Structure 1
Amino acid sequence: MKLTTEQIEYVTNYIKSLDIKWYELQVEFTDHMVTSMEEIWEKDPGLTFDQVKQNAANKFVGDSSFKSIQEERKRILQKEYNRSQRKMIAEFLKFPKIIGSILLGILAYQGSFFFEKPSKYLIVLFALLWLFAIPTIYNLTRNYNIEGKRFLAVSYYSLTVTCLLLFPNIGLNLTGVFQDEIQQNHLLIISLICFWVVGLLFCATGVYLDIKHIAKVKKQYQLN
């Protein structure tokens, strides 16, 4: 027995009431619930709508509950995101892209000769990584709600935000700790610049993946 449009709307609101706030999961869980209810009703047409709904809801408890599935889905998406970013960064550390990474490091190193104190130059370099916060915050605020809907696929910015906090802070702290040694030891400057290049790759690929995921969701759900 097929559910009516009004009954499906009721199921949709029921799913939302379970604190399932992500639109794609609301759609998916509603489909699962509706399918289960229609199967139950097909086997026992004498049941009322409320009885069918309750019987279907009883199937989604414990590890199979919608909340548990939602948390598991978040973990899966997080792992996929992190894996994608690590893969992109690895490509920049392999031939031929590694040539570009090396050239970037060389150019950054050459820039240190224009400063009387290389430590000040390194402070500027690591502070520049915070510029990646601009597109990150913009995307986060602009796409928090897309046409009144929230999407799990664009609601986590794991490594992007982490990198924006991690690399500049570590770089600035190390520069401060070894300020005197940096003045005399160019190997230390090179090491910190290599760390800066890796941080730059993490921040840049994070922003790229965020934009890519947003575009994918908008295309999938035909949103502006």
Structure 2
Amino acid sequence: MELIDTHIEELYKFTRKHYVEYYDVQTELVDHLANDIESICAQNQKLSFEQARDLSFKKFGIFGFMEVVESRQKAMNKRYWKIILRFAKEWFTVPKIVITISYFVSLFYILRIPYSKYIILALLFILVVFDLIKQSKAKKNHKQREEKNEKIFLLESMIGDTRQGFSGLAFINIFNLINLIKVPFNSLENYVLLIISFSLTLITILFYVTGYVMPEKAEELLEETYPEYKMVKSD
């Protein structure tokens, strides 16, 4: 049996039915299933497409496609962190290094101001509200795409998920760092204030890279990672 376009579309539906959400992982599984189904049918021509498909699916074991999905997620996670480091390194080039140093120095002097804790908490609150609004819009857009059955790639999903996760982690860490110190910041030694300023600067850079730089560069990163991405978007 030589599979036709209708069969291929059925295989995509089959992978989605078995909890494979990402188009790139679906495509890999569909290619594997299609080749295996043709091989099975060549050995037993009496089998229908559905029977051959089910026999091929049984080879994945009791967990179905989950092991394949987890394997691809682990591989993509390594690539994802390399991308984060690539963008983070850009902050240590001119002119961003100048902005970073200025930010670091500004934090240091703010911490020396009486009641600086409340200034930072107020700024953090404003940033949290702004970020929650942005996340809400992103979630709404993602839900609309799912309802329309649009093709979503694994890296694309990771950019959104990591952005939300790191945002929450960054805010919690900053809040805990501020409240961990029971005495006024301006009463601390300068070297302690330098450590705190450095920590806040590092968290801010990672937050900005994952929360704003990478989502804005998503199209470019997807085209770089997936050769088929342009064709999918033009469909």
Q: Does TM-score exceed 0.5, indicating one fold?
A: yes
Amino acid at match of 1:66: F
Given the superposition, is the C-alpha separation of residues 60 and 124 from structure 1 closer, same or farther in structure 2, using an over 3 Å criterion? Answer: same
Distance in 2 (alpha carbons) for counterparts of 1:46 and 1:159: 48
Q: Which residue of 2 aligns with 1:118?
A: 116
Q: Does 1:203 align with 2:190?
A: no
Question: 2:165 is matched with which residue: 158, 162, 166?
Answer: 162
Matched-pair identity in %: 16
Give the gaps of 5 or more residues in structure 2: 224-228
Amino acid at match of 1:35: N
Bigger drift between 136-145 and 65-74 goes to 136-145
Number of residue pairs matched by the alignment: 222
Amino acid at match of 1:153: L
TM-superposed CA distance for 1:145, in Å, is 4.5
Bigger drift between 90-99 and 119-128 goes to 90-99
SS in 2 for 1:166: helix
Q: Which residue of 2 aligns with 1:33?
A: 33
Distance in 1 (alpha carbons) for counterparts of 2:122 and 2:193: 13
TM-superposed CA distance for 1:68, in Å, is 1.1
Distance in 2 (alpha carbons) for counterparts of 1:212 and 1:95: 20
Question: 1:174 is matched with which residue: 169, 173, 177?
Answer: 177
Given the superposition, is the C-alpha separation of residues 100 and 48 from structure 1 closer, same or farther in structure 2, using an over 3 Å criterion? Answer: same
Give the TM-score normalised by structure 1. 0.78
Give the TM-score normalised by structure 2. 0.75
Superposed counterparts of 1:1-224, under 5 Å:
1-61=1-61, 65-93=64-92, 97-111=96-110, 115-130=113-128, 131-146=130-145, 147-149=148-150, 151=152, 152-156=154-158, 157-185=160-188, 187=190, 188-207=192-211, 208-213=213-218, 216=222, 219=230, 221-222=232-233
Bigger drift between 103-112 and 68-77 goes to 103-112
TM-superposed CA distance for 1:46, in Å, is 4.2
* 2:117–2:178 Cα contact (<8 Å) kept: yes
TM-superposed CA distance for 1:28, in Å, is 2.9
Given the superposition, is the C-alpha separation of residues 175 and 54 from structure 1 closer, same or farther in structure 2, using an over 3 Å criterion? Answer: closer
* 2:108–2:194 Cα contact (<8 Å) kept: yes
Given the superposition, is the C-alpha separation of residues 170 and 5 from structure 1 closer, same or farther in structure 2, using an over 3 Å criterion? Answer: closer
Report the RMSD for the aligned CA atoms in angstroms.
3.2
Bigger drift between 5-14 and 74-83 goes to 5-14
Distance in 2 (alpha carbons) for counterparts of 1:144 and 1:212: 21
TM-superposed CA distance for 1:88, in Å, is 2.5
